[in-house]
Structure 1
Amino acid sequence: MSSTPMLMAKWPVLGRHEHAAAWLQVWEDRGRAPRTLDVYARGLAE
């Protein structure tokens, strides 16, 4: 299961920004750790 939908649920503001979600998906596809993705998502949301 992809963690990006979980990040979108945690950081709903990212759901309004297609490029941000796509950017996170790229990093997830490259094997970044879930905590790293969470940090990236938090930074984008802020």
Structure 2
Amino acid sequence: MALAVWRRREGTLSIDGIRHRQAEAMFWVAVLFSNSLGTAYGDFLVNTCR
């Protein structure tokens, strides 16, 4: 979801194109969002596979 919003707003997902605060903010939102979801999904898998 965060990557889709970033792609739509910036036109690319390339981190080489981060030249202003708005693009950098979208990058960090995507990182934090994906990190949280990845951790939650990993915890879910561990708890359901036992």
Higher normalized contact order (CA 8 Å, seq sep 6+, divided by chain length): 1
Larger CA Rg, structure 1 vs 2: 2
Give the TM-score, by structure 1 length. 0.32
